[in-house]
Chains A and B, each alone.
Chain A
Amino acid sequence: MLNLLIAIPIVAAIAVLLGAPARRTALLASALNFILTLLVLFGYNQAKGGYQFQSSVSLVPEWHLAFYLGVDGLGILMLLLTVVVAVAAIWVAPPPEKIERAPNLYYASLLFIAAGATGAFASLDLFFFYAFHELALIPTFLLIGIWGTGDRAGAAWKITIYLALGSFVLLVGLTGLYTSIPADSRTFDIVRLQEMARTGAIHAPPWVYLCTMLGFGVLVSLFPFHTWAPQAYASAPTPATMLHAGVLKKFGLYGLLRVALPLMPQAAHSWNTLLLALLAGNILYVGLVTISQKRLDSMLGYSSVMHMGYIFLGLASMNLIGVTGAALLMFAHGLSIAALFAIAGNIRQKTGTLEFSQLGGLATPLPFLGFAFGLAAFAAIGLPGFGNFAAELMVFFGAFKNGGPGLAFSDFQIVTVVALWGVVISAVYMLRAYRAVFMGETPARWAGLSDCCRCSSENSCCIRPAIALLLALLLVAGFQPQLFVNLVRPAILPAVTHAVLSK
């Protein structure tokens, strides 16, 4: 089943490259994947728990390297995020006739990014876990370089070199982890590794955790390695940004949660202070930078960097409620940021600009976009009713719980207070953006815009279904977070218990 989930987008991408009708094939493939993921979701036996839908093909027996797939609740949640955003992103992509050059390559690249993300979240083998994430690197390079806007060359080089270096640091860390196991029991098998960690058979030196933390950190735009993100997101074509900001960026966090924390809990504790300082930078420094942005796309880019701080906070807290909150926030943030970027991209298509000073009063001609942007912005701020609220609340509870006895605040509590102010910061920039784009007098030149459009060659596709899908899931996560919490909690519990014990 999971094999199919990875194979479908890759086969579709190759078919598209060989000349199959690009949009139809891509949509079909992503829809099929969506259905398959739902089957996995409902086929997953929650009572039994653990990793299910496993399949393994041994590749290098001597190294214990295998193409090993399997998911637990956390994996399923990430897969769900991936396929939902992939469907939405491919739906939002301009029809092939509107793409100036090589439309088939455009759709194939999107499919490859989706395949990479799916593979990374479904892999239980360290090697493929890493390799699948990298599969997205080159399609992103091509998408930004060929079809990007603004300083596309600069943005494409920056994201590629940054991520290549970051992944290499990560590779050194993972290799260090691999080599720190005694030679006769070395394996890439994540499940085996987690068992070994629980029995205390892994003694990775502290630098290994630092390398993985920074490596994953670069991929998630941890402060101060975040500068690639806003620039790339502002330049990339909308679907690429949705996939990258919504899904791929979560890979680093997922990696911390799946690999770094459970395998090296002691090291995680000892580096926590550094992580707290950096994530405070994400929330406070990048938050203030976000307020000063003058364009909608770069504002959204910085805001996505800022919100990573909350997820890091949840992971750093290393208790059940905090880490579960982080997992839920990964999901909710992915949906909300994808919706926001989709709307921003649509506005750029209609008006040709995203400068706040040029825009204004768009809610009158574009009521649906205005409404949807409002909802997504409220979600991003963390207002009740959306998944983000439930998740952020859990993160704050989890982090605050880490205080010591006595009256003095621990470093965790100080950072939590800072993070709470971060919510105010997000409210400031989101609402200011909303006012600048949608409120006020409608300039005459924007009065003729119309909200909906049929999927035709003159106009871009109607983005309503895609946005509606993303927002609907966000609302479900907001009103029934228990559904998702029940899904991921059993997956997180063993790692967290182990982490607490080894403190």
Chain B
Amino acid sequence: MNLPSPNPLLLDLAVLAIGLIALLMEAFEDEKKKTFTGWMSVFGIGMIFVFSLFAHPMSYDGVYQFATFYMADATALFFKRIALGSTLLVLIMSLEYRGTLARYIPGVGEGGQSEFFILPVFACLGMMWMASAADFVMIFVSLELVTISFYVLVSYMRRSAVCLEAGVKYLILGALSTGFFVYGIAWIFGVTGQTNLGSVAQVLRQLAPGAQSGALFGMALIMVGLGFKIAAVPFQLWVPDVYQGAPTPVTALLSVGSKAAGFIVLMRVLGMFASVPSLHGKILAVTAGMAVLTLIYGNFAALPQNNLKRLMAYSSIGHAGYLLVAMASLGDYTVSTVSFYLAAYLLMTLLTFLVMIVVQRATGGDDIACFKGLSQRSPLLAFGMLIAMLSLAGVPFTAGFLGKFMVFRDAILQKQWLLVAVGAVTVGAGFYYYLKVVCAMYWNIATETSAIEATTLTKVTVVVLAFLIVCLGVYPQPILSMLE
């Protein structure tokens, strides 16, 4: 049977439609039915995710006018799936999170929870566009769609001071980095007269070396802007506070979706600059430098953390470091390495956050101490968390290990010895702080022994995610063949 495969562009439009319908329903529906928007978003995004698995890469050259803006190659499609998958899981988490959310937002008359399920849909749309963006203008617009959705989501719990602090920090630093990014685009445009990635590279290649300094400056500014999005050192300062303060599902989306979107843009921009022979060495040296700093800062600052959300913030910085290692070792495998690593990262991070939300609701906190004796209180959740932590640390038979293997294979192939040496040390550090959570769950005896309950949907999701992590750790072929 030959199923009609959906046009990748349709996926984006469908997400847009879901978001708009949900917004209209929120505006015109009865107060009582408003929990419905949550389920509708979950269901809608879930359906689109399933459809996206049947989509095939397409070339729009000569078909549409905007083909210079928008591309739908295998990589773009893969990152659309990542965006859809992470949004879906985050929406499932948000359903678990309702109770906590209700405590921190004012009564029904002043606006309720519905937008909490609608804004991620728009953020998802932004990420999907970003995956397809082939033009600086398009990149900028989609980046802003994501970032502005996050400004609202991060500070969603209006009665929590920590949450508001996080929102302000994210807003100010986010706006600043956007400024850098636009300024960089302006410089590139000023030098080359182009905004399309392909054309910019073409013009740059023909420029005399002396005339490139403007483009170099623009490139540096763009790296600053993107460094903020992917949480690379030295643009990581916002990460711990924002991650800790934001509502947990938002933190999850921030650490997975936003990062994945940042990396696809970085991959495209970096590839573009690296294709210019005179810039090749410079841009890779900058990336390698950022990778070293990010690895060291993320992994070593994570060591003393006692709060799991903060720990995950530093861990997110650390993983950005490994991804930057892959970027700095630009070669034939880079796209598949980065994509696989992000897919693995998505599974293990979202599994962690999902378990965290359930435990947070039951114990009222997200310190590592709250996980004491989880193996007795809920063996299933503890086991899911165990798999997630092992994968994050990079133990074989998990997707996380395979991702790290691919990163270091690329680094060795490109003879990036410094990155390999630093990576070896940081992997050891990672073992310590991830196993700290395992240690709390399994070694320590619970102070309270009441069982922790979770909804069936959550339990099923935990099992599926853990299963996928182990499966991809042994059999990565499905992901790799998606990228061909």
Which of B156-164, B177-185, B439-447, B460-468 lies at the binding interface? B439-447
Interface string of B426-437 (1 = CB under 8 A from A): 011001100100
Contact, CB under 8 Å: A62 / B375: no
Contact, CB under 8 Å: B424 / A179: no
Q: At the interface, yes or no: B10 with Cβ under 8 Å from chain A?
A: no
Residue from B409, B431, B438 within 8 A of A175 (CB atoms): B409
Distance in angstroms from A136 CB to nearest chain B CB is 11
B369-400 interface (Cβ within 8 A of A): 375-376, 386, 390, 393, 395-397
B398-438 interface (Cβ within 8 A of A): 401, 405, 408-409, 412-413, 420, 424, 427-428, 431-432, 435, 438
Report the tally of A-B residue pairs with Cβ distances under 8 A: 79
Q: Would A175 and B427 be within 8 Å (CB), given that A101-B445, A131-B396 are in contact?
A: no
CA–CA, A160 to B401, complex, Å?
A: 16
- Nearest A-chain residue to B436, judged by Cβ: A157
Residue from A145, A164, A176 within 8 A of B428 (CB atoms): A164
Contact, CB under 8 Å: A171 / B390: no
Q: At the interface, yes or no: A178 with Cβ under 8 Å from chain B?
A: yes
Residue from A61, A132, A172 within 8 A of B408 (CB atoms): A172
CA–CA, A175 to B443, complex, Å?
A: 34
Contact, CB under 8 Å: B395 / A161: no
Contact, CB under 8 Å: A157 / B397: no
Q: Would A59 and B475 be within 8 Å (CB), given that A141-B438, A161-B431, A161-B432 are in contact?
A: yes
CA–CA, A137 to B431, complex, Å?
A: 11
Distance in angstroms from A160 CB to nearest chain B CB is 6
Residue from B375, B395, B401, B474 within 8 A of A138 (CB atoms): B395
Q: At the interface, yes or no: B476 with Cβ under 8 Å from chain A?
A: yes
Contacts of B396 in A (CB 8 A): 130-132, 134-135
- Nearest B-chain residue to A153, judged by Cβ: B443
Q: At the interface, yes or no: A169 with Cβ under 8 Å from chain B?
A: yes
CA–CA, A326 to B475, complex, Å?
A: 36
Contact, CB under 8 Å: B408 / A175: yes
Residue from A102, A105, A138, A164 within 8 A of B427 (CB atoms): A164
Contacts of A131 in B (CB 8 A): 396-397, 401
Q: Would A165 and B397 be within 8 Å (CB), given that A60-B476, A146-B442 are in contact?
A: no
Contacts of B397 in A (CB 8 A): 131, 134-135
Contacts of B455 in A (CB 8 A): none
CA–CA, A153 to B390, complex, Å?
A: 18
* B residues contacting the other copy or chain, number (CB 8 A): 31
Contact, CB under 8 Å: B442 / A145: yes
Contacts of A60 in B (CB 8 A): 475-477, 480
Distance in angstroms from B402 CB to nearest chain A CB is 9
Q: At the interface, yes or no: A420 with Cβ under 8 Å from chain B?
A: no
Q: Bin chain A's interface residue count.
A: 20 to 34
Distance in angstroms from A184 CB to nearest chain B CB is 12
Contacts of B386 in A (CB 8 A): 138
Describe B's contact surface by its main secondary structure: helix
CA–CA, A12 to B157, complex, Å?
A: 47
Contacts of A101 in B (CB 8 A): 376, 445
Contact, CB under 8 Å: A168 / B427: yes
Contacts of A146 in B (CB 8 A): 442-443
Contact, CB under 8 Å: A160 / B431: yes
Most chain-B Cβ atoms within 10 A of its Cβ — which of A67, A105, A131, A165?
A131
Contacts of B390 in A (CB 8 A): 138
CA–CA, A411 to B476, complex, Å?
A: 48
Q: At the interface, yes or no: A142 with Cβ under 8 Å from chain B?
A: yes
- Nearest A-chain residue to B443, judged by Cβ: A145
- Nearest A-chain residue to B332, judged by Cβ: A183
Contact, CB under 8 Å: B477 / A59: yes
Contacts of B474 in A (CB 8 A): 59, 67
Contact, CB under 8 Å: A145 / B439: yes
Interface string of B168-193 (1 = CB under 8 A from A): 00000000000000000000000000
CA–CA, A168 to B401, complex, Å?
A: 11
- Nearest B-chain residue to A62, judged by Cβ: B480
Contacts of B475 in A (CB 8 A): 59-60
Contacts of B439 in A (CB 8 A): 145, 153
Contact, CB under 8 Å: B431 / A164: yes
Contact, CB under 8 Å: A168 / B428: yes
Residue from A141, A142, A160, A175 within 8 A of B405 (CB atoms): A175
Known: A59-B477, A145-B442, A172-B420. 18 other contacts (CB 8 A): A60-B475, A130-B396, A132-B396, A134-B401, A135-B396, A138-B438, A141-B438, A142-B438, A146-B442, A157-B435, A164-B393, A164-B431, A165-B424, A165-B427, A165-B428, A168-B424, A172-B408, A176-B412
Residues of chain A whose beta carbon lies under 8 Å from any beta carbon of chain B: 59-62, 67, 101-102, 105, 130-132, 134-135, 137-138, 141-142, 145-146, 153, 157, 160-161, 164-165, 168-169, 171-172, 175-176, 178-179
What are the 5 tightest A-B residue pairs by CB atom distance, in nearest-first order? A131-B396, A134-B396, A165-B428, A145-B443, A164-B431
26 A-B contacts, Cβ less than 8 Å apart? A62-B480, A67-B474, A101-B376, A102-B375, A105-B375, A130-B396, A131-B396, A132-B396, A134-B401, A135-B397, A137-B395, A138-B390, A138-B438, A142-B442, A145-B439, A153-B439, A157-B435, A160-B431, A161-B431, A164-B427, A164-B431, A165-B431, A168-B427, A171-B405, A172-B424, A176-B412
Residues of chain B whose beta carbon lies under 8 Å from any beta carbon of chain A: 375-376, 386, 390, 393, 395-397, 401, 405, 408-409, 412-413, 420, 424, 427-428, 431-432, 435, 438-439, 442-443, 445, 474-477, 480
